[in-house]
Structure 1
Amino acid sequence: MTSTTAVSRPPAAMPLVGHYVPEILSLARRGLVWAVLYGTFARASRGGCVPLNDSVEPVCYNATLDPSPFTWFVMALLFVIALGSAAKATRTAVINRTLRIAATALWAVPLLAAVLALTSFLTASPEALWNGLPPANVTVQLTSD
């Protein structure tokens, strides 16, 4: 008498990241808010007229700072990397840490980029705008009256 026993496999476990969908959606919303805030507040313009040397006609300038698309790319890359790391994690502590680090990076990156851009833009002397290289993402137009 032979008996056949069926070998049963345990059901495939649902990936741990599936339990964190609300946190992932919250992370995406916060990242989007910071991306919009960066796009809104990383803009500036300034202009004026400055006499060059002893010339009669002053040189007028208008400098415009625009947000960098590179910052948005870095934010998107951080989000995708965080999701990939969370999806591969096998412990809830690792997923929590990954999402917490990603949340911090998604506000720190655009804030740092905006502060650095605005600081370099506002502290640049007008002469540096046409005698040297303007700060990143700055468009300079020169005219003479």
Structure 2
Amino acid sequence: MTTATAAPPTNLIGAYVPEIISLAKRGLLWAVLYGVLTLASSGGCLDPASGGDQICYTATLRPSPLTWLVMAFVFVVALSRAAKATTTAQITRILRIAATALWVVPLLASVLGAMWFMTASPESWLDGGVPANVDFRITPG
């Protein structure tokens, strides 16, 4: 006795093309906003404790390429998982989670980067504590 198994629907993801395009547009919008929101600069002069010349600095915060890489990874994984999904409920859930991740990741990265940049002490930057996404220049006072 053989049991008939229903073949999974073909091209189920094709019905979700408008949602996928919308996901891509929202992801691109958040990627651009992240690039704009994580641009900052700070500068000033410090009087050294040893009584020497002033040390002036300029620090510039710029977007981290790692955030854009994570966003692209989320998008690609969401598309591949949605393509393998067998029900519309699975596809809807996958696209909803991806849409949420595509705004949470850049928003969280920009808030954390800006907060770190605004609260960090320039004295710690002089000792080499500068992260990769901050350009730090020292000029004589």
Asked whether the two chains share a fold, i.e. TM above 0.5, the reply is yes
Unaligned runs of 5+ in 1: 1-11
Larger radius of gyration: 1
- 1:143 equivalent in structure 2: 139
- 2:93 equivalent in structure 1: 97
- Output aligned runs, 1:18-97, within 5 Å: 18-97=14-93
Mapped to 2, the partners of 1:128 and 1:13 lie a distance apart of 59
The 8 Å contact of residues 82 and 91 in structure 2, kept in 1 or not, is answered as: yes
Unaligned runs of 5+ in 2: 1-7
1:16-66 deviation per Cα after TM superposition (whole angstroms, max 9, x unaligned): 110000000000000000000000111111000010104241100000111
The 8 Å contact of residues 59 and 144 in structure 1, kept in 2 or not, is answered as: yes
TM-score computed with the length of structure 2 as normaliser = 0.91
After the TM superposition, which parts of structure 1 deviate over 6 Å for at least 4 consecutive aligned residues? none
**How many residues of Structure 1 are paired with residues of Structure 2 in the alignment?**
136
RMSD: 1.7
The 8 Å contact of residues 9 and 86 in structure 2, kept in 1 or not, is answered as: no
TM-score computed with the length of structure 1 as normaliser = 0.88
- 1:3 equivalent in structure 2: none
